[in-house]
A = this chain, B = another copy of it.
Amino acid sequence: MTDPLRIDLRAFRGALGAFATGVTIVTTRDKDGRDVGLTANSFNSVSLEPPMVLWSLGKTSQSLKAFVEAGHFAVHILSIDQDSLSGRFAKSGGDKFVGLTVERGQGQIPLLDGCAARFECRSAFQYDGGDHVIFVGEVIALDHSGRPPLVFHGGRYAAVIGTSEAARQEPRAATEGGFGEDFLGYLLGRAHYQFFARMRPELERRVLREEEYTDILSVLSLRDNRSVTELNALVEFTGYHVTQEAVASLEKRGLVSLDSATDPDPRVQLTAEGRRTVIELIAVAKSIEADAEADLDQSERLVLRRLLKKVLRNTDPGLPSLWEAE
């Protein structure tokens, strides 16, 4: 036997955080017929035959008695968009089920909606586990939606993104002094140009130059009535310079109007025709977006945007916001 341990609690919690887990809500019904539920990430599988799962609960939990006495409980594996549900069931006290759609399982235990998977269990064993009780349940019913899971890692919610596919195909390596298929500048440029290449026929059909759409019309669609100087502050990082000639040409085609013919820095507004054109083109862009991420699941879509925004922050030359007035 080792002496009483001197493991620092904070260090222990920190190291446990290195183990990523799904997030579950475990529910049951107490002897008085009240629904009980709490968030737990101590879930895991135990046995295949018979099918058994386990989770553990602190001995000081208000819900302990209900689970110790319960003949059945249900484990809900939460999906990526259930982080607020996880938060609700992580707090103690109050009726956590208010306003939720609840089905009834074995023993009238409450079953929640919209999860990645769900297990109804018969209480099989309860074991001592230090300051927790380990509950082992025999699975008597299950369902599985295929939704991407919510996970918990390092004290935060996270998404899970499969990597096997990427591993299967080795990226073309960089040559000496050159770049390979994993070079971020290449991937970003190629993704942008392939996306935009699908816009081009639509622009040509409307006799619009690329920059007329991306650097003038679509910028005005976010906030109208900007001066040429303001437009340039927003778009010059693309290498394009908005000139008075360019806006005059759009004016001639009835897509924008200028508040002055003589002001060297006129304010530009979309006409009704201009606005209609942008709305049509944005609709096209959104259908390209749908194709571009057709086989990305919800977690992958979320994470791709989040990582691109990190790259935007890291490469930001200090641009004003496209959406807000200065």
Contact = CB atoms under 8 A, between A and B. Distances in A.
Contacts of A288: 185, 315
14 contacts: A4-B50, A12-B142, A15-B119, A18-B77, A19-B45, A20-B20, A41-B44, A46-B129, A125-B129, A160-B161, A163-B302, A171-B305, A185-B196, A304-B304
Interface string A46-90: 111111111010000000000000000000010010010000000
Which secondary structure dominates where chain A touches chain B?
mixed
Interface string A211-233: 00010001001100000000000
- 4 closest A-B pairs by beta carbon, nearest first, are A47-B130, A18-B117, A177-B279, A192-B192
Contacts of A181: 309, 323
A301 B21 CA distance: 21
Contacts of A317: 194, 197-198
Contact of A153 (B83, B160, B167, B189): B160
A253 interface: no
A276 to B, nearest CB: 9
A80 B167 CA distance: 12
Given A130-B52, A162-B158, A193 B237 contact: yes
Interface string A1-41: 11011010101111110111110100000000000000001
A293 to B, nearest CB: 6
Interface residues of A, number: 143
B187 A5 contact: no
A140 interface: yes
A113 interface: no
A194 B154 CA distance: 31
A157 interface: yes
Contacts of A125: 127-129
Given A117-B19, A185-B289, A295 B312 contact: no
A144 B184 contact: no
Contact of A307 (B46, B195, B307, B311): B307
A124 B179 CA distance: 53
Contacts of A99: none
A231 B276 CA distance: 37
A303 B314 contact: no
A283 interface: yes
A317 B306 CA distance: 26
